[in-house]
Structure 1
Amino acid sequence: MPQSHKTILQLTGRGFAPAKLKNATLLVIDVQEEYRMGALPLPDLEAAVAEIVDLVAAARACGTPIVHVKHLGITGGLFDPQGERGQFLPELAPQEGEFVVEKRLPNAFSGTDLHDQLQAIGHLDLIVCGFMTHSSVSSTVRAMKDYGYRCTLVDKACATRNLPTPSGILSAAEVHRIEVAALADNFAVVVPDTKALL
């Protein structure tokens, strides 16, 4: 393979094997109603939700610790913490004994106790899924490297939205593909789906 076709992780020898559910912590980011019935509809939401449902079920079956991240928006606006749009999607609501971290910025480490909770759980390997690929997922995965975690990103368990550009609309599928490639270059190992983690 040409050097130019290798990731930075490969070129530096800092790559790592994908995590397995039995020895990692699952981080589920912003699976909230805003993306289904609010102002930020995701074209590929339902397919990603179905994959996350499978992933969470597999994690629970393995006894994998699960941390649910919830974005707190503004009253009456995006991710309204008092309204329906800010709530977890019902099929992905946390269960008793699972951790919940509330954030106000895209990066789930910023201004929260996420790092402390992860340290208490004790796993270096983190498996990540959720929304949106180019925003909260990306900023959180990038921050993980600063804290020394190894991130495994589940491709089919993430999604994003169409984005406006000066030359037109960039499709959600293309935004997702580009962001996953960027994260795989230097911040995470990417697996296609839940089956790769078993």
Structure 2
Amino acid sequence: MSKPQTLLQLSGRSYAPARWANATLLVIDAQEEYRSGALALPNLESSLAQITRLLKTAREAGAPVVHIHHLGITSGLFDPQGLRGQIMPEAAPLPGESVVAKRLPNAFAGTELHDLLQKHGRLDLIVCGYMTHSSVSSTVRAAKDYGYRCTLVENACATRHLPQGDGQIDAERVHRVEMTALADNFAICVEDADALI
């Protein structure tokens, strides 16, 4: 039996992973809520280390960096006036880097993200952040509609355990399934920051 192919491969629309010289780094919701809040992620530290490596490499390469910042509910999830709503210091924007505020999972919905990316003039996006099954997924799927080519860095994304009936689905399983679905038709997936040149 032959190895299954992705829809991107079957359609002839597959592409190589993005190169820093032609890409914009998109960091989605690297916020304290995922470290110390109700949505604390089990694999946060290892994925955050990958995000910081991506940021360092992007900055050294002179690639544009766009930070997505989810605006939540006062005194609730992603409290915009509290610590949990803030971008984690390890992933904080530097002067000159763009920050796009959003209120929905899809970072394109009701924001200036598309117009900002058009100004950078790069169709390749290197994507990382939180959560794999929610904001990362919805943003990557929308990016395809706008004509962008996404490269997802698997170990620079993470998600949480999800409730199912009386139990839960393990975060790592949710992450793997969502990454597999996105790799089928919406993005090229690489394992970690070292895979990009």
Question: What's the TM-score once normalised by structure 1's chain length?
Answer: 0.98
Alignment of 1:23-102 (within 5 A): 23-102=22-101
Match of 2:128 in 1: 129
1:118, CA displacement in angstroms?
0.1
| Displacement of 1:93 | 0.5
Q: Deviations over 1:27-74 (max 9, x none)?
A: 000000000011001000000000111110010000010000000001
Query: 2:61 is matched by which residue type in structure 1?
Result: C
SS in 2 for 1:32: coil
| Distance in 1 separating the partners of 2:170 and 2:131 | 13
Q: How does 1:1-20 map to 2 (within 5 A)?
A: 2=2, 5-20=4-19
Structure 1 partner of 2:103? 104
Distance (whole Å) between structure 1 residues aligned to residue 73 and residue 181 of structure 2: 30
Amino acid at match of 1:188: A
Identity, % of aligned positions: 66
Q: Equivalents in 1 of 2:166, 2:174: separation in Å?
A: 15
Aligned length: 197
Deviation at 1:168, TM superposition (A): 2.1
Structure 1: which 5+ runs fail to align?
Answer: none
Looking at structure 2, the residues matched to 168 and 65 of structure 1 have their Cα atoms a distance apart, in angstroms, of: 42
Partner in structure 1 of residue 183 of structure 2? 184
How far has the Cα of 1:195 moved from its partner? Answer: 1.1
1:150 is displaced (CA, Å) by 0.3
Write the distance in 1 (CA, Å) between the matches of 2:34 and 2:63.
Answer: 26
Q: What is the TM-score when the length of structure 2 is the normalising length?
A: 0.98
Code of the residue aligned with 2:168 in structure 1: it is I
SS at match of 1:95: coil
Aligned partner of residue 127 in structure 2, secondary structure:
strand
Q: Could you tell me how far 1:167 is from its partner in structure 2?
A: 5.8
SS of 2:107's partner is coil
SS of residue in 2 equivalent to 1:111: coil
Q: CA deviation at 1:194?
A: 0.9
How many Å apart are 1:79 and its aligned residue? Answer: 0.3
Out of 14-23 and 96-105, give the one that drifted further.
14-23
Partner in structure 1 of residue 153 of structure 2: 154
Shift of 1:21: 1.3
4+ runs deviating over 6 angstroms: none
What SS class does the counterpart of residue 116 from structure 1 fall into?
Answer: helix
Distance in 2 (alpha carbons) for counterparts of 1:2 and 1:187: 22
Deviation of residue 166 (structure 1)? 2.0
Name 2:167's counterpart in structure 1. 168
How far off its partner does 1:169 sit? 1.0
For structure 2, list consecutive stretches of 5 or more residues without a partner in the other structure.
none
**Which amino acid is the alignment partner of residue 132 of structure 1?**
M
**Distance in 2 of aligned mates of 1:140 and 1:85:** 22
Supply the distance in 2 between the matched residues of 1:168 and 1:6 (Cα, whole angstroms): 33
Distance in structure 1 (CA, Å) of the matches to 2:144 and 2:51: 23
